[in-house]
């Protein structure tokens, strides 16, 4: 593993980009690593483009700048690829791009490693609602191995586990499904 891994997540307000970054950071922490997650602050309007950031490292993380040269980019809403120019910052050099989509052709993205995952479809099937986050992070774990499935399960159970365990269980199911799909491909 490189000294520090940087992940940038793009979504729209309400889709949970910040939660996705948190879950990845908590999962990495559960895996025994150092991690940091933070939002591109203050634009919490439903539907507006938002960014969230996650760093994972073997040593304590001191750096606080936003992420301009990510190792990985996760795109929760595919319409942002053409709509939000920030999505493309540093995208040429990143290892891989993960998109919530069934489409496979992305002329705007100058990167050969694009993984498409039908996260919305998986979420509707497993959770019953288009809560795409857990499917996407499951796919991310399958694609990169940066966080373990066990770590993610702990993070998701902590976050969504409450009186009704079904919420956590259905989210874990969505995560595992996306993980398997990416692993197979």
Partner 1 sequence: MRKCIEGSLAVAEAIKLCRPAVVAAYPITPQTHIVEELAKFKAEGEADFEFVRAESEFSAASIVLGASASGVRTYTASSSQGLLLMTEVLFTIAGLRLPVVLTCANRAVSAPINIWNDQQDAMTIRDAGWIMLFAEDNQEAVDFHLLAYKISEQVKIPVMVNMDGFVLTHTFEPVDIPSEKEVACFLPNYAPAAGQILNVKSPVSLGCFATPADYLEIRQDLFNDLVSSMEIIKKELGNFKKTFKRGNSELVEYYGDKDAEIVFAAMGSIVGTIKDAVDELNAAGQKAGVIKIKCFRPFPKEEVVSQLSKAKYAAVIDKNISLGQEGILATEIKALVRNDKKVQSFIVGLGGRDVTRQHIFDIYKKVQDNKDGVLFVG
Q: Which stretches of the chain bind partner 1, using CB under 8 A?
A: 21-22, 25-26, 28-30, 34-39, 41-42, 61-66, 68
Cβ at position 41, least distance to partner 1 in Å: 4
Cβ at position 84, least distance to partner 1 in Å: 17
Cβ at position 28, least distance to partner 1 in Å: 8
Residue number with CB closer to partner 1 (112 or 163):
163
**In the block, which residue shows the tokens 């319409």?**
79
Residue number with CB closer to partner 1 (34 or 106):
34
Residue number with CB closer to partner 1 (92 or 158):
158
Cβ at position 150, least distance to partner 1 in Å: 15
User: Is 120 within 8 Å of 130 (Cβ atoms)?
Assistant: yes
Residue number with CB closer to partner 1 (37 or 87):
37
Residue number with CB closer to partner 1 (94 or 147):
147
- Among residues 178, 2, 16, the alpha carbon closest in space to that of 98 is found at 178
Cβ at position 120, least distance to partner 1 in Å: 26
What φ, ψ does residue 61 adopt, rounded to 5°? -105, 120
Query: Is beta strand 49-57 parallel, antiparallel or unpaired with respect to 4-12?
Result: antiparallel
Residue number with CB closer to partner 1 (29 or 179):
29
User: Is 101 within 8 Å of 114 (Cβ atoms)?
Assistant: no
Cβ at position 179, least distance to partner 1 in Å: 21
User: Is 106 within 8 Å of 148 (Cβ atoms)?
Assistant: no
User: Tokens at residue 9, please?
Assistant: 């997540």
- Among residues 116, 112, 178, the alpha carbon closest in space to that of 141 is found at 178
What φ, ψ does residue 68 adopt, rounded to 5°? -110, -25
User: Tokens at residue 46, please?
Assistant: 């439903």
């Amino acid at each position: 593993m490189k000294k520090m891994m940087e992940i940038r997540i793009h979504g729209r307000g309400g889709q949970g980009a910040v939660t996705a970054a948190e879950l990845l950071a908590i999962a990495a922490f559960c895996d025994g690593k150092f991690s940091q997650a933070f939002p591109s602050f203050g634009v919490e309007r439903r539907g507006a483009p938002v960014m969230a950031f996650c760093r994972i490292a073997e040593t304590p993380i001191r750096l606080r700048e936003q992420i301009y040269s990510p190792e990985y980019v996760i795109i929760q809403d595919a319409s942002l690829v053409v709509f939000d120019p920030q999505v493309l910052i540093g995208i040429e050099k990143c290892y891989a791009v993960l998109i919530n989509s069934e489409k496979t052709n992305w002329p705007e993205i100058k990167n050969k490693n694009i993984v498409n995952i039908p996260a919305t479809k998986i979420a509707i099937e497993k959770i019953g609602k288009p809560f795409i986050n857990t499917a996407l992070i499951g796919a991310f774990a399958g694609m990169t191995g940066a966080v373990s499935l066990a770590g993610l399960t702990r993070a998701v159970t902590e976050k969504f586990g409450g009186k009704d365990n079904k919420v956590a269980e259905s989210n874990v199911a969505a995560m595992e499904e996306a993980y398997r799909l990416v692993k197979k491909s």
